Amino acid sequence: MDRWLLRLGIAAPVLYLGGVIVGSLFYPGYSHATQYASELGSASAARPEIFNYGIIAAGVCAVLAGLGFALVLRTLSKGWLVSSLAGLSISLWGASMIMGGMFPMPDERHGGFGLGMAIQVAPLLVFLALNGRAQMTGLKTFLLLVLIASGALFAIMMGVGGLVHRADVGLWQRAYALSSIPWIAVAALCLDQAMGRRRAPAA
């Protein structure tokens, strides 16, 4: 059960990015360079349900995957606190996606009351949960790179450096999304493989 829940973490980024890509195809004149992704689910979109249902589905997968992360990390690391916090951070991001799809912009609830910010610390928490496993150096290095990249892009999106302008806000948001969401699928896949090796019968 823990691995099946974990595998939903592979689906979550795919559903989110799929909602953005497919939703934009049904929005005449939509610009990925100048418009926010959330505009795909607003009243101005021709088919807002594509984006909204997509991120709701992604959110449901992420909420359940968070439980899978917690269970698998606890098994691999033998520690429950950091493992639970890592899973919770992913589940909170999922909850914010569900709210974002249920309450399209400009509804004030669209932002999920900031729950999605938990994704910023998720790579660090997964890294810390795996800190004692020398054989997962590749994943841990990847998580640190994700943490640095997503942290830098989040700061830029918040106005640091004055780099974001109306003409390119969409591009910056896409860059931030690519740094802060797809890693969930990579981590889920790597952890699933680690669990498979752990449970494989000895030759």
Tell me the average pLDDT of the chain: 94
**What pLDDT score does 99 carry?**
97
Question: What type of residue is 151?
Answer: G
**What pLDDT score does 133 carry?**
74
177 within 8 A of 42, measured Cβ to Cβ: no
Q: Tell me the whole-structure pTM to 2 decimals.
A: 0.92
Higher pLDDT, 201 or 22: 22
Q: How confident is the model at residue 198 (pLDDT cuts 50, 70, 90)?
A: confident
97 within 8 A of 58, measured Cβ to Cβ: yes
Contacts of 134 (CB under 8 A, 6+ apart): none
Predicted confidence (pLDDT) per residue in 103-125, tens digit = 999 999 999 999 999 999 999 99
**What pLDDT score does 77 carry?**
85
Lookup result for tokens 């992913």: 90
Give CA–CA dist 183/139, Å, rounded: 10
Predicted confidence (pLDDT) per residue in 23-64, tens digit = 999 999 999 999 999 999 999 999 999 999 999 999 999 999
* pLDDT reading at 203 higher than 50: no
Nearest to 143 by CA among 89, 96, 94, 98: 89
**What pLDDT score does 144 carry?**
96
DSSP E strands, the chain: none
Predicted confidence (pLDDT) per residue in 57-103, tens digit = 999 999 999 999 999 999 988 789 999 999 999 999 999 999 999 99
Give CA–CA dist 60/67, Å, rounded: 11
Average pLDDT of the segment spanning 190-200: 83
Give CA–CA dist 135/145, Å, rounded: 18
